[in-house]
Amino acid sequence: MNTREYYDRQKEPWGLGEIQDIRSEYETNEMTISQIADIHKRTPGCISYKLKNLGLITHNTLSRGYIEYKNSDLYREIIEQSKFEDASRKLKKERRINMSEKITKYTTKPSESEVLAPNPKSKQVVELRLDTSCAEIAELKNEVLSIKKDVREILRLMNAMYEFESQSPTPRLYLDL
């Protein structure tokens, strides 16, 4: 039995030829799941589940060589790695939940006293601002540009209205944005 790195085809789809080969290797050649796994570069557990899905065995633990596989270093390595990955996924999920709670909690604009006075809430607001993504920043920039265009258009219309009403040159309102 090899190390986990050897079995690099875990997530690849099964081909029809490969399924037929596995079937003949298990039934005709009476090979163990470890031997079949070494040939196809898939883990013995993967081979065992495929045999169950093909209907060659009733349960994955009843396959030939499963006990040997379960007592191997490879099995312990896979279990250890999956525990680590599960803990990592759980931690990422908790971080996402905490971030969404912060966003929900601090969506309202803080008062000036909160911004000026250093306290934990204002620090969390600053942290929230640092965690915004580039896409959110770009979206806000686009919104600001749109508002600037609208204000310019309003000023242009106001100047046109003043000119129309007075029909004489008057100072124009200019706002440099």
Chain segment 144-164, per-residue pLDDT in tens: 999 999 999 999 988 888 887
Residues in CB range of 17: below 8 A, 6 or more apart: none
Half-sphere exposure of 82 (CA within 13 A, CB side): 7
Question: Residue 127 above 60 pLDDT?
Answer: no
What residue ranges do the domains of the chain occupy? 4-71, 84-130, 132-177
Distance of CA 8 to the CA centre of its chain: 23
The predicted structure's pLDDT at residue 106 = 59
Tokens 């994955």 map to which residue? 60
The two structure tokens encoding residue 44: 């013995």
Instruction: Give the SS3 label for residue 175.
Output: coil
* Amino acid code (one letter) for 3: T
Count of residues in the chain: 177
The predicted structure's pLDDT at residue 60 = 85
Question: Residue 67 above 60 pLDDT?
Answer: yes
Lowest mean pLDDT among 57-66, 141-150, 167-176: 167-176
Buried b (16+ CB within 10 A) or exposed e, 34-73: bbbbbebebbbbbbbbbbbeeeebeebeebbbbeebeeee
The predicted structure's pLDDT at residue 126 = 47
User: Distance between the two ends of the chain, CA-based, in angstroms?
Assistant: 70
C-alpha distances in angstroms, 20 versus 7, 10, 37, 40, 44? 20, 18, 14, 12, 17
